[in-house]
């Protein structure tokens, strides 16, 4: 970087208030007056770390970390490559698993564990979230929990799978899996377990 002294600059020259950087390249600067300070030479951009780089050498940002052009990171099941300050990522659908087991224990797609011991129905997974507008979704998985025994514990009575096609004239399909397989599930760390 070089020091720009506004007293020696032309009247319409921007100063340090308008330093172009890799992170602000797409933002216009409106200067009311020149501010003296460090700037990059013409044709270079601030890299955010006190240095200057060519536009093609600007890093990409991910989770507040900077990555050099050509660096590759993994995001879920996809890979992303830094090119021209932007991430180019593969677009593969990622697989996920959720589990309902035991007396109201659930493991979510993101690995969180929950315990819901109420006697009611729970939606395990669905691909629509527009309130009660079921017409926009193509599937829904629901578990029905009921009291079992005399201890107040709940058990899954049925797992219902609703498959629907959102095309006009298509009819939804459903299946009910009754008497789910009982057996030991993964350990639950929810409160009260």
pLDDT in tens, 141-182: 888 888 887 877 877 788 888 887 544 444 555 555 544 444
Which one has a higher pLDDT value, 162 or 92?
Answer: 92
Distance CA 189, CA 193 (A): 6
Write the CB contacts of 62 (distance below 8 Å, at least 6 apart in sequence). 73, 75, 80, 87
* pLDDT number for residue 78: 94
Give the helix/strand (H/E) hosting 140. strand 139-147
> Does residue 62 surpass a pLDDT of 50?
yes
Contacts of 125 (CB under 8 A, 6+ apart): 98, 109, 139, 140, 141
Give counts: helices (H), strands (E), the chain.
Answer: 0, 16
First-to-final CA distance of the chain: 60
pLDDT of residue 189: 44
Cα angle vertex 95, ends 178, 154, to 5°?
30
CATH class of the 99-178 domain in this structure:
alpha beta
Report residue 45: phi and psi, to 5°. Answer: -125, 150
% pLDDT > 90, the chain = 14
Per-residue pLDDT band at 70 (split at 50, 70, 90)? very high
pTM of structure:
0.49
């Amino acid at each position: 970087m070089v020091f720009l002294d506004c007293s020696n600059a032309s009247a319409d020259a921007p100063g340090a208030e308008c330093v172009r950087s890799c992170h602000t390249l797409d933002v216009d600067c409106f200067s009311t007056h020149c501010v003296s300070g460090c700037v990059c030479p013409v044709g270079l951009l601030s890299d955010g770390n006190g240095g200057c780089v060519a536009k093609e050498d600007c890093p990409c940002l991910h989770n507040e970390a900077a990555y050099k052009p050509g660096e590759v990171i993994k995001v879920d099941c996809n890979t992303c490559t830094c090119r021209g300050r932007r991430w180019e990522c593969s677009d593969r659908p990622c697989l996920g698993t959720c589990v309902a087991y035991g007396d109201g224990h659930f493991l979510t797609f993101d690995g969180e564990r929950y315990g819901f011991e109420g006697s009611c129905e729970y939606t395990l997974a669905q691909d629509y979230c527009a309130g009660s507008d079921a017409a926009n979704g193509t599937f829904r998985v629901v578990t029905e929990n009921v009291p079992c025994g005399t201890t107040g514990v709940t058990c899954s009575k049925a797992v219902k799978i609703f498959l629907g096609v959102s095309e006009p004239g298509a009819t939804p399909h459903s299946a009910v899996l009754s008497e789910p397989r009982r057996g030991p599930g993964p350990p639950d760390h929810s409160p009260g377990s």
